[in-house]
A and B are shown apart, each in its own frame.
Chain A
Amino acid sequence: MLITTSTTEMPTAGYGAALLRGLKSFALLRESWVGMVGTALVLFWVLVAVFAPWLAPFDPNSSIQPFAKPGVEAVKVGGTFWLGTDHIGRDILSRIVWGSRTVLIYAPLATLCAYTVGILMGLAAGYRGGWVDDILSRIADIILSFPVLVLYIIIIATIGASGINIIIAITFASSPGIMRIVRGLTLDLRNRDYVAAAQTRGESDWRVMLVEILPNARGPLIVDACLRLGYVIITIGVLGFLGLGLPPPDPDWGGMVNETRQMAMAFPHMTLFPCIAISTLILGFNLLADGLREISLRD
């Protein structure tokens, strides 16, 4: 992109350069061992979710052969139950593969919603200060003073269990935490000279907040988003376990653990494999967050 001649051309396509920059920062991640492991784990599950129809050996919702242990041959339809089947006879491997789609659609969506709300609230509270800050901060304090689990149960019990409602509940419960982070960063950034420069040329408040302040808060926010994605996955799992997750029969990792937990002593594979799936994905996001933090501290 470097042009040294005096007849500099007008920039035509900025997207190519942006893509290149994104790839470059990803290349930086390669220097962090932890970050690479995290990326590998996350990438693994993303690929599983994308190629679920080809990877899953059986239909995840059809009852084939109950109580099959891992490695047992399927008698009627042919093939192997690599991870066994559950009490109704559904193939666990297929359910985990399809279940990854649920998690990887709802967790990022819920995080994105929580971030949108949290960022807007945090920017407004930090930048405007005064009564705006007072009101928003008190609302956040009230929400944060509830035990999270109780909050989820109240919300889901009130509005019913569905994918959209899970997103609403998670947004409601985690946006106050994000708001606090954004508010703190904004309080620092709003005193910078470039913010004053924008104010003195009469930019609107929202433009100052979104264009001048927010991009400079992205470092800590990206790291936090990765960590939070992990928590949201736990939450979705917990909601499924409590019976407040997605309605059956669609496969949901938390729900799988819940449905089979009474048989866990006799048939450990029914609960063990969904648990491993949940923990590896969360571990992936946490390691990725660590890696990103390591890189951001380096320069």
Chain B
Amino acid sequence: MNKDQAPVLVCKDLCISYYTRAGEIPAVVDFSLTVKPGETIGIVGESGCGKSTVAMAIMQYMGANGGIKSGSITFKGRDLTQLSESELRSIRGAEIAMIYQEPFASLNPSLKIKTQLMEVPLAHENISKDEARQRAMQMLSDVNLPDPERMMESYPHQLSGGQQQRVVIAMGLLSNPSLLLLDEPTTALDVTVEAGIVKLVADISKKFGTSQIYISHNLGLILETCDRVFVMYSGEVVEEGTIDSLFTWPKHPYTHGLFACIPLPTADKNAAPLKPIRGQLPLPFERPQGCYYHPRCDHFKTGLCDLERFKMVHVENSAADHRVRCLRYKEIDHHREVPGGEAKEAIELGKRVLKVSGMKKYYEVRDSSLRALFAGKRIRQVKANEELNFTAREGETVAIVGESGCGKSTFAKVLMGLETSTEGEVRHNGKEISEVAVRDRSAKQISSLQMVFQNPFDTLNPSHSIGGQISRVIKKFGVETDKKKIFDRVMSLLDTVKLPRDFYFRKPRQLSGGQKQRIGIARAFAGNPSMVIADEPVSALDVSVAAAVTELLMDIQREHKTTLLFISHDLSVVRYLSDRIVVMYLGHILERGTTEDIFAPPYHPYTEALLSAVPIADPEVTKREIVLEGNLPSAMKPPKGCPFCTRCHRRIGDICDNDLPPEQFVVDRHIIKCHIPLEELCLVLPVITVPDVSERLHVELRE
């Protein structure tokens, strides 16, 4: 990074509005940004804060109803807002490239990778096809894709999600742009794949000298990729600064609120629970007077914060470009509230509720190709679950962790009775359920095992009212039969999930994502379940909403002593809320144990890689870097020996390829499935190192 060079991009007092039938909607207000050559800028904020609008404005690609109201965007000395459409076309793709969230939507499925890559230099430069081909090949190896020759001849569907995103990044870099915009480039990818992409993004500016703007809702990812960060709230920047200054000494109450919402390694569900920001993001046309954040701020002062708009100010005694939009930042002492919300009591664990022993689930796939007919292999087996063993007790939270395709959803389906197992048994409250379909279960059995679903926009039926949907569950399970009593029960459930009672009459489309998820929780708890399966219940929600929903789920759990089976791929959330963790990969349990066991050596090599892949938004936490090579193997053709052998960084030899690893007992209920001797695994260094409280920077400064 060269500080003296002229900036690549300067946005000055930018105001962007959308014009709709309802009138003008100011999406971004008073946005200023300077990007120097080779610098990576992070823009972080919750959905609806205007971060994607900024990216679109820089591309000058606002759609029919968007427009820049005032301010300027200067790219290398030229004001982009004044350029004609054809001048813009020569800049887009050549000098400013953009990478979108979903790689499979950014590539044309009917064209070969080579056609799509070569198109970029051919369109923008006057070069021959051979040269374009050379450049494309070179770029594919620069983004660490194996076998560029084969990649060039492939169609997008033949590549995995991570490979596709690498191709998209290669395409963006091909014309050697000065500025690369990345809009949530890893959201659609698995954690271990995400780690690889994040490392690539971080290397780009070193390798190519490209400036980048990285948009994300994940503070941890921003920390790992960026030099400077902008925190946006409701269309305006509330705080900006270098990674070090902003992450170590955040000044704005909103930035603080965000940090209190994410499960950092210092958070603990009992001693230091998450502290959700109260209230909701205001709609663009309902923004309050003065500071937009004041209705949700704990440090609000009447007659100061709610009067008029104010500019960003430089933070005294901090780095040169640390600025904040808060009038009271000097008076607020954030240290007093550092350990998050109020401490809560831990639940006492009770009797065993769930016992899974040797459960297997195989699917049969009929192959109707001619080749299969001749070979006599018409039916192939997909082993979705292989020998699952674990137990859960009353009041306990057990997390099942694994990437997509590891078989965690199949297991949930067997538990819920939507599928029956192939072998083995699952006992819930002592009763065998793995071979009983939901239709054959008693109402009591069904109501005692319920589920919270992943997608808040899909979990409620849009055609029926909230009250009707919850009432149906109560009626179906026979909790109450009298109409009046059912109604009262719905009301008390709405109180439990902290929603207003008149939501009874609302339709799902009138609710926000977080509210819908709360109704989903109310529905699951309507029949007083002894166990609830939560399938990534907060992964689609914004951080502050996710924190509130997580806390709500745990409060209800505490009250009802429910066993929670938490399915997730996000280890930071899992570490925060679960007592025990089951790590799955390709249908196998590779490691299981208490949360402390899993997060400390000895690790299974896959657990080690998963831990390393989790982005942590704390600059003082150090992580050992392990990036997995290759892709998840197909469940149709799993490796013969250890399921993880194709990607393992600690592979010891042929034994891994040929033999299924044994279960090694570390202590009671902590088991690792690996060929490497336990003694050797014990010598591995911890992946995540959290500094002691006394060693922390901000503590020193305080004294």
Give residues in A with beta carbon < 8 Å to B. Answer: 1-4, 6, 8, 10-11, 192-194, 196-203, 211-212, 215-216, 218
* CB < 8 Å neighbour of B487 from A2, A10, A201, A203: A10
A229 to chain B: closest CB distance in Å?
Answer: 23
B438 CB contacts on chain A under 8 angstroms: 199-202
Q: Is B621 an interface residue (CB 8 A)?
A: no
A215 touches B463 (CB 8 A): yes
- A196 with B418, Cβ < 8 A, contacts A202-B476, A215-B463 known: yes
Q: Closest A-chain residue to B467, C-beta based?
A: A11
- Chain B residues in 8 Å Cβ range of A11: 467, 504-505
Chain A residue at minimum C-beta to C-beta distance from B450: A200
Least Cβ–Cβ distance between B563 and chain A, in angstroms = 16
Identity of the chain B residue whose Cβ is nearest the Cβ of A31 in the assembled complex: B21
- CB<8 Å pairs between A and B, sample of 11: A6-B501, A10-B487, A196-B418, A197-B523, A198-B461, A200-B417, A200-B418, A200-B438, A200-B450, A201-B450, A202-B476
Q: Do the beta carbons of B473 and A201 come within 8 Å of each other?
A: yes
A interface footprint on B506-525 (CB within 8 Å = 1, 0 otherwise): 00000000000000100100
Min CB distance A271 to B, Å, is 47
Question: Chain A contacts of B454 at CB under 8 A?
Answer: 193
Cβ-defined contact, B501 with A201, below 8 A: no
Within 8 A of A (CB), among B686-701: none
Q: Are A202 and B461 in contact (CB under 8 A)?
A: no
Contact A202 B446 (CB under 8 A): yes
B490 to chain A, nearest CB (A): 10
Asked if B658 CB lies within 8 Å of chain A CBs, one says no
- Shortest A233–chain B CB gap in Å is 30
Given A197-B451, A200-B416, verify A8-B463 contact (CB < 8 Å). Answer: no
Report whether A4 and B418 are in contact in the complex, using a CB–CB cutoff of 8 Å: no
- Whether A215 pairs with B446 at a CB distance below 8 angstroms is no
Sorted nearest first, the 9 A-B pairs with minimum C-beta distance are A215-B463, A193-B453, A193-B458, A194-B461, A8-B501, A193-B459, A200-B416, A3-B502, A10-B487
In whole angstroms, what is the CA distance A211 to B483 when docked? 20
Is B463 a contact of A216 with CB atoms below 8 Å? yes
Q: Which of B428-470 contact A (CB under 8 A)?
A: 438-439, 441, 443, 446-447, 450-451, 453-455, 458-464, 467
Contact partners of A3 in chain B: CB under 8 A = 501-502, 505
Closest chain-B Cβ to A132's Cβ sits at a distance in Å of: 17
B500 nearest in chain A by CB position: A4
Tell me if B309 counts as interface (CB < 8 A to partner A).
no
Contact A200-B451, Cβ < 8 Å, known A2-B505, A10-B483 = yes
Are B446 and A8 in touch, CB under 8 angstroms? no
Mark B residues whose CB is within 8 Å of A. 416-418, 438-439, 441, 443, 446-447, 450-451, 453-455, 458-464, 467, 473, 476-477, 483-484, 487, 491, 500-502, 504-505, 520, 523
Residues on B with C-beta less than 8 A from A2 are 502, 505
CB atoms of B446 and A199 under 8 A apart: no
Q: Considering the chains assembled together, what is the distance between the CA atoms of A194 and B438 in angstroms?
A: 16
CA distance A150 to B155 in the complex (A): 46
Residues from chain B with a CB closer than 8 A to the CB of A4 are 500, 502
Q: Cβ of A8: which chain B residues have Cβ within 8 Å of it?
A: 491, 501-502, 504
A216 touches B462 (CB 8 A): yes
> Which residues on A sit within 8 Å (CB–CB) of B463?
215-216, 218
In contact, B477 and A201 (Cβ under 8 angstroms): yes
Q: Is the CB of A202 within 8 A of B443?
A: yes
Q: Evaluate contact between A194 and B459: CB separation under 8 angstroms.
A: yes
- Cβ–Cβ < 8 Å partners of A200 in chain B: 416-418, 438, 446, 450-451
Tell me, in angstroms, the Cα distance from A10 to B483 when the chains sit together.
9
**How far is A199 from B455 in the complex, measured between Cα atoms in Å?**
17
Distance in Å from the Cβ of A205 to the closest Cβ of chain B?
Answer: 9
| A7, closest chain B residue (CB) | B501
B90 CB, min distance to chain A CBs, angstroms: 35
Taking A192-B458, A202-B438 as contacts, is the C-beta distance between A197 and B501 under 8 angstroms?
no
Task: With both chains docked as a complex, state the minimum distance between the C-beta of B495 and any C-beta of chain A, in angstroms.
Answer: 9
Q: Closest CB-CB distance, A245 to chain B, in whole Å?
A: 39
Chain A's closest residue to B483 (CB) is A10
Q: Which chain A positions have C-beta within 8 A of B523?
A: 197
Q: A193-B455, A201-B438 are in contact. List 7 more A-B contacts (CB 8 A).
A: A2-B505, A10-B483, A10-B487, A194-B459, A201-B473, A201-B476, A202-B439
> Which residue of the partner chain A has the closest CB to B455?
A193
Contacts of B439 in A (CB 8 A): 202
Contacts of B446 in A (CB 8 A): 200-202
Complex: chain A residue closest to B491, CB-CB: A8
Report the nearest B residue to A298, measured CB to CB.
Answer: B21
A193 CA to B464 CA, complexed, in Å? 14
A197 is contacted by which of B443, B453, B491 (Cβ under 8 Å)? B453
Distance of A1 Cα from B416 Cα, bound (Å): 37
